[in-house]
Amino acid sequence: MPHILSFPKITRRAWKVWYRNMVVFVRTWQVNFFPPLIEALLYLFAIGIGIGTYVKEIEGIPYVNFIAPAILAIAVMNSAFFECTYGSYVRMYYQKSFDAMIATPLSIEDVIAGELLWGATRSVIYVVIMLPVLAVFGVISLPLALLAIPLGFIGGLMFAGIAMCFTSISPGIDTLNYPAFLFITPMALFSGTFFPLTLMPVFLQYIAFALLPLTHLVAIMRMFTLDALSWTVLFSFAWIAIVTAFFCLLSINLMRRRLIV
Amino acid sequence: MPDIIDAQDLKKNYGSTVAVDGIQFTVRKGEIFGFLGPNGAGKTTTMKMITCVSPRTSGTLSVLGMDPDKNPAEIKQRLGVVPQETNLDPDFTCFGNLYYYSRYFDIPKDEAEKKADELLEFVQLKEKGDVAVEKLSGGMKRRLILARALVNTPDLLILDEPTIGLDPQARHLIWEKLRNLQAQGNTIVMSTHYLDEAERLCDRLVIMDNGKILVEGTPAELVRQYAGHEIVEVETSDDVIACLTELKAPFEQTGDMIQITATTDAAREIARSVLDRCKPKRMITRPATLEDVFLKLTGRTLRE
């Protein structure tokens, strides 16, 4: 039996799984297109303009501009995470789609890799839909903010990998609520999203930087949309690259262990 | 002609449970080969090893001349699989289920469309092409799964209980399609609980229990060898039992009936003696079937 961190043999057939999910997504585009659009507007109005009326500026930056990258980063996290937890779990357990797929030349490694790529693609689609809204409100700095699109893929892949690990060990679909509420929701609030990390006690800042993936995604996203690059972008990219590789590999191995007996 | 499947000392353990315990069988080109056995006998596990989705614990296995451990994708490219559980894609229509499934086999778009139409016609679902799969009846779903297993024009078709839960009309239709496929030169491996199905369809079969193959042969051979030609069934009563003991006829008690197995001529003699001397309330004489073989070999105790 291969080791839990062994390098899986993935072929380009993984894209066939990605393609299947893409076809279904495009088929139901009405229900898929509007949530990100509305989500962007809700955040902008409720927090950006609502709270922004009182807060005005953070570190010399207009409050709406400060949270705009956080809106993007949270959307990247949520779309990949929920796609590869609930979405993948439904396809795996209720629809038995994975069983049907591995009866074809696809291997389980191809299937899971395809699911991860699809989760990341969903993040990209969300970013692509949200960016024009933010641009219309003039809260992001173009053209550098366009880098949010490829960043959406990398960040999406990271959260897809983390999500798939939870999916691979979750005894039922209900237990996926635990990571959603205990991990994702707090992270959306305490990763330097709606207020700077520096407001938190120092040890919590260290924890956020060491352990919360969203912290690094928000940090890079903010450098892009505010046109304020610094050398720390390299550190955050390195962190994300390592974590993404680790969890994607782990999730494929865990899924094989769950499904191939 | 090399065998389509060749298994030698094939074993599968799940942890400390032995699911398949060193079985040996071969499947020849063009035949319908059946796996029979009670629940938990190891049929589905064997099928999963053949279809390259469950690695074997030990032994050798060759499918279409290749090793499932080494060339799973190459084997699966030429395999059609009908699983026990219905796993059609609810996000697609009937046509979509066939079309998008053929994409997994790298079949070009035009060819895939043409094939999907042909197969919908083959399983008599032509009018249902644009219908969502959840709108189909159980029988239609099984037919669509059979069609899906054929999108890649497989050399070997593996069916795990293809007619499970179907009404007699739907079963007959599936049987007819399987015979058509065999006539076209396909090799078919199937498992079933329905012994009449096995008797009608299978050229050769094995009966499994507790992970082992108990017997192998053609249905007719097995019936002749293990159940005789005729069965005389008599309703049980103390008088009848006393009478049969006196007649020295070897009998077996099964529930409220007594069974006496015999060759055709002997069965007539026995039936006459029983009728004359034992005064049974009810008695029938019938040809032996595969079901008699099955129950004789695997017992009458309920499984699971």
Q: Does B76 touch chain A (CB under 8 A)?
A: yes
Contacts of A25 (CB under 8 A, 6+ apart): A32, A122, A125
pLDDT of residue B250: 76
Contact by Cβ (8 Å): B207, B37: yes
Q: C-alpha angle B175/B83/A21, rounded to 5°? A: 125
Q: Which residues pair with A196 in a beta bridge?
A: none
Q: Answer with the residue of higher pLDDT: A127 or A36.
A: A127
Q: C-alpha angle B173/B175/B179, rounded to 5°? A: 120
Whether residue B301 lies inside any domain: the answer is no
Comparing CB atoms, the residue among A23, A107, A261 nearest residue B73 is A107
- Distance in angstroms (rounded) separating the CA atoms of residues A95 and A73: 30
Same domain, B32 and B83: yes
pLDDT of residue B303: 66
Predicted TM-score (pTM) of this structure:
0.91
Residues of chain A found within 8 Å of residue B53, distances taken between Cβ atoms:
99, 102-103, 260
Whether residue B295 lies inside any domain: the answer is no
Same domain, B159 and B213: yes
Nearest of B185, B178, B223 to residue B28 by alpha carbon: B185
Q: Does B69 touch chain A (CB under 8 A)?
A: no
- A180-221 pLDDT, tens digit per residue, is 999 999 999 999 999 999 899 999 999 999 999 999 999 999
Q: Answer with the residue of higher pLDDT: B240 or A101.
A: A101
Whether residue B11 lies inside any domain: the answer is yes
Whether residue B45 lies inside any domain: the answer is yes
pLDDT of residue B193: 87
Return phi, psi of residue B173, to 5°.
Answer: -65, -45
- The CATH number of the domain holding residue B70 is 3.40.50.300
Whether residue B258 lies inside any domain: the answer is yes
pLDDT of residue A33: 83
Could B87 and A95 be called an inter-chain contact, meaning their C-beta atoms sit closer than 8 Å? Answer: yes
pLDDT of residue B147: 95
Q: Does A29 touch chain B (CB under 8 A)?
A: no
- Distance in angstroms (rounded) separating the CA atoms of residues A236 and A231: 9
Domain end (from B179, B200, B223): B223
Same domain, B200 and B256: no
Q: Does B284 touch chain A (CB under 8 A)?
A: no
Total number of domains in chain B? 2
Kindly report the nearest CA distance between residue B23 and chain A, in angstroms. 19
Same domain, B188 and B255: no
- Distance in angstroms (rounded) separating the CA atoms of residues B253 and B114: 57
Residues of chain B with pLDDT under 70: 1, 300-304
Whether residue B300 lies inside any domain: the answer is no
Could B76 and A103 be called an inter-chain contact, meaning their C-beta atoms sit closer than 8 Å? Answer: yes
Whether residue B294 lies inside any domain: the answer is no
Give the position of tokens 């500026």. A57
Kindly report the nearest CA distance between residue B67 and chain A, in angstroms. 14
Same domain, B160 and B17: yes
Contacts of A97 (CB under 8 A, 6+ apart): A91, B87, B89
Same domain, B181 and B272: no
pLDDT of residue A1: 55
- Distance in angstroms (rounded) separating the CA atoms of residues B47 and B27: 13
Could B54 and A16 be called an inter-chain contact, meaning their C-beta atoms sit closer than 8 Å? Answer: no
Contacts of B261 (CB under 8 A, 6+ apart): B227, B228, B230, B231, B250, B252, B288, B292
Quick one: A12 exposed, middle or buried, by C-beta within 10 A (0-12, 13-18, 19+)?
exposed
- A20-62 pLDDT, tens digit per residue, is 999 999 998 888 888 878 888 888 888 888 888 888 888 889 9
- Distance in angstroms (rounded) separating the CA atoms of residues B150 and B156: 10
Residue ranges of alpha helices (H) inside B18-153 are 43-50, 72-77, 94-104, 109-122, 138-149
Could you tell me the residue range of the domain that residue B239 belongs to?
229-287
pLDDT of residue B1: 63
User: Mean of the pLDDT values across residues A108-126?
Assistant: 97
- Distance in angstroms (rounded) separating the CA atoms of residues B232 and B244: 12
Same domain, B195 and B256: no
| 3-state secondary structure at position B51 | coil
Q: Does ipTM exceed 0.90?
A: no
The b/e string for B48-71 (b: 16+ C-beta within 10 A; e otherwise) is bbbbbbbebeebebbbbeeebeee
- A218-248 pLDDT, tens digit per residue, is 999 999 999 999 999 999 999 999 999 999 9
Residues of chain A found within 8 Å of residue B153, distances taken between Cβ atoms:
none
- B166-193 pLDDT, tens digit per residue, is 888 888 988 998 999 999 999 999 999 8
- Distance in angstroms (rounded) separating the CA atoms of residues B128 and B94: 7
- The CATH number of the domain holding residue B278 is 3.30.70.260
Same domain, B116 and B265: no
Q: Does B91 touch chain A (CB under 8 A)?
A: yes
Could B89 and A106 be called an inter-chain contact, meaning their C-beta atoms sit closer than 8 Å? Answer: no
Same domain, B253 and B277: yes
Q: Tell me how far CA of residue A75 lies from CA of A11, A51, A127, A219, in angstroms.
A: 29, 20, 7, 15
Same domain, B191 and B137: yes
Contact by Cβ (8 Å): A84, A157: no
Could B87 and A13 be called an inter-chain contact, meaning their C-beta atoms sit closer than 8 Å? Answer: no
Give the position of tokens 């890649």. B152
Same domain, B48 and B159: yes
Whether residue B293 lies inside any domain: the answer is no
Same domain, B9 and B142: yes
Comparing CB atoms, the residue among B83, B100, B152 nearest residue A20 is B100
pLDDT of residue A83: 95
